[in-house]
Amino acid sequence: MFRLKHLKSLALLLPASFIASLCIIASPLSASAQQTVAGVQIFPANAVWNTKIDGLPVHANSSSWVNALTPTSHFHPDWGSPLEYGIPYNIVQDAKRALRFYNVSFDYDDESDAGPYPVSKKLKIEGNNWNIKKNGGDRHVLMIHPPTKTLYELYYTRNKGSKYFAGSGAIFHLDSNSLRPNTWTSADAAGLPIFPLLVNYDEAASGTIHHALRFTGRMMNGYIWPARHLAGTQTAGAPPFGARFRLKASFNTSSFSTTNKAILNALKEYGMFYCDGGSNWYVTGASDPRWNDDDLNALKALTGNDFEAVDESSLMINPDSAATN
């Protein structure tokens, strides 16, 4: 993935008057069953990533965008059973003693939420190692605090004793559809939350996933709703961050396992958002020792040609809100 710390200078800088603070809540006809974790609903049912898009029209730029990401490149499930592979998440609550929150020093404090954050070097971190010399990846730390229905996300997280540092950080209230201020990053290059777009083992094993996924690619060109931020070299004809792709309805899923069918059906019904720079068609999931890696590898049969971009502009109520019609 692209390092935001090297790319921030490419962000669009708009006047403060363009940044709204209000969101509009509505109940779209396409809202569906909701993702829940630890008894907490993960964003309102009408949040755009919780909204089905299987009935939306194909985007006018679909062919161009798919071609930019190499249509013959194979789909890649970028997660699995090793804890080093994928982005883990943490449920942070302690019934026996008060949970500790820490201030975090950010490389990009002007686009990060001040906190404090319930971060700890005892938590699971992307790459499965807090030692910076042994884990030079994106080092995301995702934390869900059920008592306050709050999602905390950090990018490029480090510690020195009890002091914590990160490239950027974002705090999301899980009962709100508010997006980041326009042009602001999050723990993701597109300025979106990461957790609600992860492939989660419990959901996939249940046979149904009720939300969109996220993926990466090598080329990008600006950003569109609901994304808030861009990064990387901008390439004409490439998809913008925030573009949403779905698996074509004609794709035959009959030969896949129940778990993989859940993932494929989610890609047909909810699609996946283009969220970060990286290898083409790499989809992100939560690492979990229960994943069957050989089974996940069957998903690599898909290619970019099996996907199409959708036009979801009709869903937007307010450009500063994730709420949908």
Is residue 191 in some structural domain?
yes
Residues in a beta bridge with 83? none
For the segment 185-197, what is each residue's pLDDT rounded down to a tens digit?
A: 999 999 999 999 9
Residue 24 confidence (pLDDT) = 33
Which residue is it, tokens 């997280």?
157
What integer is the mean pLDDT of 3-32? 38
Is residue 304 in some structural domain?
yes
What integer is the mean pLDDT of 10-14? 36
Is residue 325 in some structural domain?
no
Is residue 14 in some structural domain?
no
What proportion of the chain, given as a percentage, has pLDDT over 90? 85
Domain of 259, in residue numbers: 24-315
Is residue 86 in some structural domain?
yes
Is residue 321 in some structural domain?
no
What integer is the mean pLDDT of 309-325? 98
- Tokens for 141, please give them: 């730390």
Q: Which residues of 104-115 are buried (b: 16+ CB within 10 A; e: fewer)?
A: bebbbeebbbeb
Is residue 6 in some structural domain?
no
Residue 16 confidence (pLDDT) = 39
For the segment 40-95, what is each residue's pLDDT rounded down to a tens digit?
A: 999 999 999 999 999 999 999 999 999 999 999 999 999 999 999 999 999 998 76
* Least confident interval from 12-16, 135-139, 261-265: 12-16
Beta strands, E only, the chain: 36-37, 40-41, 76-78, 90-91, 104-106, 141-145, 150-155, 158-160, 163-166, 168-173, 213-217, 244-247, 272-277, 282-284, 307-310
Average pLDDT across the chain, whole number: 91
pTM higher than 0.85 for the full model?
yes
Residue 293 confidence (pLDDT) = 98
Has residue 301 got a pLDDT over 50? Answer: yes
Question: Into how many domains does the chain fold?
Answer: 1
Q: How confident is the model at residue 279 (pLDDT cuts 50, 70, 90)?
A: very high
- 242 closest CA partner among 198, 281, 190: 190
Q: How confident is the model at residue 18 (pLDDT cuts 50, 70, 90)?
A: very low
For the segment 115-168, what is each residue's pLDDT rounded down to a tens digit?
A: 999 999 999 999 999 999 899 899 999 999 999 999 999 999 999 999 999 999
What is the amino acid identity at position 187? Answer: A
What proportion of the chain, given as a percentage, has pLDDT over 70? 89
For the segment 204-237, what is each residue's pLDDT rounded down to a tens digit?
A: 999 999 999 999 999 999 999 999 999 988 899 9
Residue 42 confidence (pLDDT) = 98
Has residue 274 got a pLDDT over 60? Answer: yes
Residue 97 confidence (pLDDT) = 72
Has residue 23 got a pLDDT over 60? Answer: no
Residue 31 confidence (pLDDT) = 52
Residues 6 or more apart whose Cβ sits within 8 Å of residue 162? 102
Is residue 177 in some structural domain?
yes
Q: How confident is the model at residue 32 (pLDDT cuts 50, 70, 90)?
A: low
